[in-house]
Amino acid sequence: MNSLHQYVMKLVLFLLLSIPCLSHGKTQITSIFSFGNSYADTGNLFILGTQNLTLGPVVSGYPPYGMNFFHHPTGRFSDGRLLLDFIAQAFDLPFLPPYLGHNGSFQHGMDFAVAGATGLDYSFFVKKNATFPTLLNTTLNVQLGWFLDLKPSLCSSFDSCRKFFRKSLFIVGEFGINDFSIAILGGKTLAEVKSYIPSLVKVITKAIERLICEGALTIVVPENVPYGCIPVILSLYQSTDESDYDPHTRCLRKFNELSLYQNKLLNKAVNQLKLNFPHVRLINAEYYRPITEFLKNPKHFGFIDTPLRVCCGVGGTYNFNISQGCGMPGVNACQNPSTYLNWDGAHLTEAAARYIAHGWLRGPYADPPILTAIHN
């Protein structure tokens, strides 16, 4: 009787001591699922390119892509790690494999993002007569379908799936850059592109609601980048009219206005989801503010004082020429990519991604910061 009593006391003590570890442990997140475009693609488009020869060679599969961290091209559109990779590392998780290159189950999550992907459905662009040859059917809804296809290999019942996804981090985005580009290159005016944005935000919102129905508890929703600060856009739409440029960032104002409008609607939609689903940790993650801060004060962040010049490219005002892009023969990278904001004309360097990832994890570039959300 006495020894049983002691045993029970020990058990109670053990349980009491272990509860704080269970509820505050770093390993609350055991998997990550990512949806998006080239900002989050760990190799899917590159794999598509090897399967579909019409697509042609995908530049991110060639040096100097990957030179700074992986030391070989992985299909990531970067000199090293993406934002997503820094987030995986913060949770001591392995880098996410690209869904299209992986067979079946991977317990630590999967990357569904495909470079070039739009948020809006393929059929939306067809209906608007706004197609362009780079439009692929790898949209957010297609990626969501891949996630649902994969699900049976991760968990088998309603309850076990909910249990599994409670410990997953979902990242939905960024989406928008390619929606803008496809429509603009497909011949649409900026006013028409702007009119598509409410539909884009609706698609993103619906995808988030679907994930919540599946049991997602922690969802990061990155906003759009300042579209008018992308060197591809800056060189395609170079202007002699000084008033087209923001005097502080040297970005093209009318293209940035599209991003600002999308971000306003997206933030509003995410804030509404926070009210509708108070048990879900929804995280608004910023791109616009950090990137414009880098541009306004590059030295403070260790970047060169002409921060719109790209690291890997050739010629012109921005060291960028679309017909001689990074990954093509004879196109070299700069000496020190970590002092550049932009890697190849369209994508961030690892240095910039690292800085933004830090701000998403610990603040100030996310509301709430991911690590704060996890511990609440």
Catalytically active residues are: 38, 344, 347
Q: Where are the beta strands (DSSP E) in the chain?
A: 31-35, 109-111, 168-172, 218-222, 281-285, 366-367
Least distance in Å: CB of 133 to ligand NAG?
A: 7
CA distances from 21 to 13, 17, 18, 93, 275 (A): 13, 8, 5, 19, 30
7 within 8 A of 14, measured Cβ to Cβ? no
SS (H, E, C) 292-325: HHHHHCHHHHCCCCCCCCECCCCCCCCCCCCCCC
Q: Which residue is nearest to ligand NAG (CB)?
A: 187
CB atoms within 10 A of CB 188: 20
What is d(CA 295, CA 352) in angstroms, rounded to the nearest whole number?
Answer: 11
Place of tokens 């369209």: 346
Instruction: Please identify, using beta-carbon distances, which residue of 73 and 369 lies nearer to ligand NAG.
Output: 73
244 within 8 A of 305, measured Cβ to Cβ? no
Least distance in Å: CB of 136 to ligand NAG?
A: 6
Least distance in Å: CB of 157 to ligand NAG?
A: 26
Q: Interface residues with ligand NAG (CB under 6 A)?
A: 52, 54-55, 101, 103, 122-123, 129, 136-137, 142, 145, 187, 315-316, 321, 323-324
Least distance in Å: CB of 29 to ligand NAG?
A: 25
Least distance in Å: CB of 52 to ligand NAG?
A: 4
Instruction: Please identify, using beta-carbon distances, which residue of 70 and 124 lies nearer to ligand NAG.
Output: 124
Instruction: Please identify, using beta-carbon distances, which residue of 142 and 371 lies nearer to ligand NAG.
Output: 142
CA distances from 251 to 229, 233, 234, 256 (A): 5, 9, 7, 8
What are the beta bridge partners of residue 33?
A: 110, 170
Least distance in Å: CB of 84 to ligand NAG?
A: 20
Number of H helices, E strands in the chain: 13, 6
DSSP for 43-60 reads SHHHHHHHH-GGG---GG
Place of tokens 């020429």: 321
Instruction: Please identify, using beta-carbon distances, which residue of 43 and 307 lies nearer to ligand NAG.
Output: 43
Residue ranges of alpha helices (H) inside 39-139 are 44-51, 83-90, 122-127
CB atoms within 10 A of CB 326: 26
Instruction: Please identify, using beta-carbon distances, which residue of 236 and 304 lies nearer to ligand NAG.
Output: 236
248 within 8 A of 330, measured Cβ to Cβ? no
Residues 6+ apart with CB under 8 A from 9: none
Least distance in Å: CB of 250 to ligand NAG?
A: 18
Instruction: Please identify, using beta-carbon distances, which residue of 136 and 150 lies nearer to ligand NAG.
Output: 136
Instruction: Please identify, using beta-carbon distances, which residue of 134 and 267 lies nearer to ligand NAG.
Output: 134
